[in-house]
Structure 1
Amino acid sequence: MPERMADPRAVFEVINAELMLDGDAAQNLATFCTTWTEDEIRRLMDLCVAKNMIDKDEYPQTAEIEARCVRILADLWNSPAEATTIGCSTTGSSEAAMLGGLAMKWRWRQRRAREGKPADKPNLVCGPVQICWEKFARYFDVELRQIPLEDDATGLRPHQLAAYVDENTIGVVAILGVTFTCDYEPVAAISAELDRIHRETGADVPVHVDAASGGFVAPFLQPGLAWDFRVGRVVSINASGHKYGLAPLGVGWVVWRDAAELPEDLVFRVNYLGGDMPTFALNFSRPGGEVVAQYYLFQRLGREGYRRVQGACADTARWLGERIAELGPFELLYDGRGALPAVSYKLKSDHTGFTLYDLTEQLRVRGWQVPSYPLPADRDGTVVQRVLVRHGIGRDEISLLVDDLERCLERLSGGTTGAPARPSFHH
């Protein structure tokens, strides 16, 4: 820290120049997060920069806006009691997922106590999940039973559950938009298999849906798909407002089927801010602007607007899937149809000469961030790439990506690894 004060304009310019060394967010096709916002959102967030979301007595209208958002989501996700259900905003879907996991652990522990059985070995069953579930299991002392992907599968399959679920299972996590492949796991079929297991073994296991991305896609693009509270075993859902919810970074949501699904032991009462306020989020003080921004988007876009935005992204993703299939060396895992606006693919089994990691590095020369990563265990080290299509990334940008993909493939196939040549200008 310097000894003396400085001119704010000078400090701003120094930091602004340094931030230019970051990548262009609009070319980051690895992130699910929103990278484009309207000016009105920025203005509303400026108005809320000093508002503490936790201080509901001092900022009651911001608290009311949060409650409205919860009711909107409960209705969107077909809660049987959307007007009286319980939920809250969080800093993101990871925190929201952990709250859902904690509620399942507490309910399981309470049930074991009523039955006079030990509650020292809880486990959570899931397929290929985002890292937040591994953190939850480690932080809160729960065994994570992560089911490996089967060949040609893009997520957990219901018939795999029987070998992993038992009386110590606090819940099954179903993913609506698998991080690795972008496909949906079949929530209704998972629930039906748990019904069968319950009948045969007595293990009564709830489902938490991690809809970090799909929770703001499925209601608009696949409204007939039963994945939410229409499925009887689904007790809670988390989603990320700053992903396909279109809000700026810093907001997630968790909603329970009804208030009884959130154990009272997890609710704390705060009175030193000027009123008796319940809180059950992991974080405490945080800005209210992101919640207000989410409410603005609900009111600004409505169901029609979300359908149009997500539909345009899905159209572009399907087009990209078709183009990638035509390029030659790739095999699509998910073609952009039926789940998230995205594609995932791998190199064909007989392909040699370069890896997807090489392609990632080539694309970075032109500014594109397209991740390459191995699929979870038991897939023989299969490496895949994923491209996410978000609001603000349109057909023009994706067309440029395809052009650069073609040039990179041409260079890699020729055995060269230098910077791809820029095309000459033409109309």
Structure 2
Amino acid sequence: MVLSSALPENHYASDSSLHSTFASRYVQDSLPRFRMPEKQIAKEAAYQIISDELMLDGNPRLNLASFVTTWMEPEVDKLILQSLNKNYIDMDEYPITTELQDRCVNMIARLFNAPLKDGEQAVGAGTVGSSEAIMLAGLAFKRKWQNKRKAEGKPYDKPNIVTGANVQVCWEKFARYFEVELKDVKLQEGYYVMDPEKAVELVDENTICVCAILGSTYNGEFEDVKRLNELLEAKNSKTGWDTPIHVDAASGGFIAPFLYPELEWDFRLSCVRSINVSGHKYGLVYAGVGWVVWKSKSDLPEELIFHVNYLGADQPTFTLNFSKGASQIIAQYYQLIRLGFEGYKSIMENCRSNAKVLCDGIRSTGRFDILSKDVGVPVVAFCLKDRSKHDEYEIAENLRRYGWIVPAYTMAPDAQHISLLRVVVREDFSCTLAQRLVNDIHKVLEYLDARPPRLVEAVAAAITHQEPELSSEIVPEGIKISAILNETILGLKSPRRLGSFKTNGVC
């Protein structure tokens, strides 16, 4: 009785919790799309309706298009939850978080063989991802080049950067946003990364840096940074220039040191002055963290570093973002100390092994050419040998029926006539899943082989839409394009009916 007297008389009559059906409680009306709703709703209802919509997203674990980490241990999940409310930029309030970032920078720089003494602090920064890291590295190169040109009394208004046409779009963003000309080396069939000789030919006195990619987005292949360095050293010596190299190691930076320790691509090379890497790729952290490190303090112009007196302390910062979450930086430190060199090496070896299982299975179909390389990111890129009936886009589309998200796309210029499929093998992609994917590829191929080519289907559907009674004549299984063209489109079978049918645009 005490509880009842404390509640309004109409409470139970209006309480939505008394409604027994799911829909009446949560989704009687359409959800807001353009305007904030006038009234609040129960937290359970907000959670439920959003959760239900998110069920229509793909399964991240089966998203083989993404390099981004989709699984971490429960212990690091707890650390992330504990630090979700920390703003990293509040360095004076969260000094331990700042210290963890500095430790990560030190470990990563030394992993890339930066010439540092014992106890010496490395030069670098945590970023939201490799895109921000690339912007920062590019700005450092541009400012350093401009300062040198000004000191020499030379024009400094036309900087350029040399890359391969296979670079990630963030390099194009950097060039456009910060007014730097992008000079790209075109690809060619059979050679899908930047040619070092052609790259160095494009270098001139206005080149702020040459970008090499350790792990092409298209097929995972490593570019030959050592050869690029040799050619650039020779040109610098001949011209008196000091053109540097930046290595975009977004995906390969956490692979090469563990799988290919003898491969020279990092700060061991004289022209390599900065490197970026994505912690949220093979650094094994959820999306939202990247890193950029410089070889020495002289490679980062001091005027780009801001000293902010914010919340009680001087805070040096060199980032495009100000406020950002601290949880991903903490998660990166967890992975570095939890796994150590041995743990990362074991995981990368397992990824490479599973990539080989998948590669062998795809090759065994006899239907595909493998475009990825043995040395590189554990990626399997492949294309159809015969595209006369079906293409890679149809395979990608039909693999979704089994839950797999496998991208189909074209190569960069001048190899865009090559279409391919790509599978990124991450830590959570097991040998069993690799075998399952091969089985499902077999099923998709059998399904597509049993159907007429897509052009035939389009013609048949268009004709039967106009003349339904023709359906039994037009859709015999396995019919060839030539038969459709000769007997149907050319009117040899039904000239009267096709007289009013518009075939332009269909064939």
| TM-score, reference length from structure 2 | 0.80
Q: CA 1:23–1:416 in structure 2 vs 1: closer, same or farther (change >3 Å)?
A: farther
CA distance in 1 between partners of 2:102 and 2:80 (Å): 18
SS in 1 for 2:57: coil
CA distance in 1 between partners of 2:200 and 2:342 (Å): 41
Q: How much is the aligned-residue C-alpha RMSD, in angstroms?
A: 1.4
SS in 2 for 1:379: coil
Between the two structures, name the one with larger relative contact order (CA 8 Å, sep ≥ 6).
1
2:54 is equivalent to residue 51 of structure 1 = no
2:250 is matched with 212
2:219 is matched with 181
CA distance in 1 between partners of 2:320 and 2:388 (Å): 48
CA displacement 1:148-170 (0-9 Å, x = unmatched): 11331131121112331100000
CA displacement 1:215-257 (0-9 Å, x = unmatched): 0011111111111111111100000000000011110000000
2:152 is matched with 115
SS in 1 for 2:277: strand
SS in 2 for 1:111: helix
CA contact (8 A) 1:362 1:417 kept: no
Equivalences for 1:4-403 in 2 at 5 Å? 4-81=39-116, 83-127=120-164, 128-335=166-373, 337-348=374-385, 350-379=386-415, 381-403=417-439
2:464 is matched with none
CA contact (8 A) 2:410 2:416 kept: no
CA contact (8 A) 1:92 1:253 kept: yes
Q: Which moved more, 1:367-376 or 1:1-10?
A: 1-10
CA contact (8 A) 1:329 1:351 kept: no
SS in 2 for 1:58: coil
Unaligned ranges ≥5, structure 2: 1-35, 455-507
Q: How far is the alpha carbon of 1:304 from its aligned partner?
A: 0.7
1:413 is matched with 449
Determine what percentage of the aligned residue pairs are the same residue: 47
CA distance in 2 between partners of 1:195 and 1:146 (Å): 20
CA displacement 1:265-287 (0-9 Å, x = unmatched): 11111113221101111111001
CA distance in 2 between partners of 1:89 and 1:190 (Å): 27
Q: How far is the alpha carbon of 1:113 from its aligned partner?
A: 1.0
Q: CA 1:417–1:283 in structure 2 vs 1: closer, same or farther (change >3 Å)?
A: farther
CA distance in 1 between partners of 2:395 and 2:411 (Å): 17
| 4+ aligned runs moved over 6 Å, structure 1 | none
CA distance in 2 between partners of 1:222 and 1:241 (Å): 19
Q: How far is the alpha carbon of 1:417 from its aligned partner?
A: 8.4
Q: How far is the alpha carbon of 1:366 from its aligned partner?
A: 1.3
CA contact (8 A) 2:393 2:408 kept: yes
CA distance in 2 between partners of 1:203 and 1:325 (Å): 47
2:493 is matched with none
1:421 is matched with none
CA displacement 1:373-405 (0-9 Å, x = unmatched): 111111151111111000111111111111110
CA contact (8 A) 1:66 1:291 kept: yes
CA contact (8 A) 2:389 2:453 kept: no
CA displacement 1:131-163 (0-9 Å, x = unmatched): 000000000000001111133113112111233
The alignment covers a number of residue pairs equal to: 416
CA contact (8 A) 1:267 1:279 kept: yes
SS in 2 for 1:227: coil
Q: CA 1:313–1:200 in structure 2 vs 1: closer, same or farther (change >3 Å)?
A: same
1:423 is matched with none
CA distance in 2 between partners of 1:109 and 1:385 (Å): 42
SS in 2 for 1:101: helix
Q: How far is the alpha carbon of 1:367 from its aligned partner?
A: 1.4
Letter in 2 for 1:76: L
CA contact (8 A) 1:84 1:259 kept: no
CA distance in 2 between partners of 1:261 and 1:318 (Å): 39
Bigger radius of gyration, 1 or 2?
A: 2
2:480 is matched with none
Unaligned ranges ≥5, structure 1: 419-427
Q: How far is the alpha carbon of 1:414 from its aligned partner?
A: 2.3
CA distance in 1 between partners of 2:223 and 2:155 (Å): 32
Q: How far is the alpha carbon of 1:351 from its aligned partner?
A: 4.0
CA distance in 2 between partners of 1:20 and 1:64 (Å): 38
Q: How far is the alpha carbon of 1:203 from its aligned partner?
A: 3.2
Q: Which moved more, 1:81-90 or 1:103-112?
A: 81-90
SS in 1 for 2:183: strand
CA contact (8 A) 2:200 2:228 kept: no
Letter in 2 for 1:45: I
CA distance in 1 between partners of 2:400 and 2:210 (Å): 38
Q: How far is the alpha carbon of 1:85 from its aligned partner?
A: 2.2
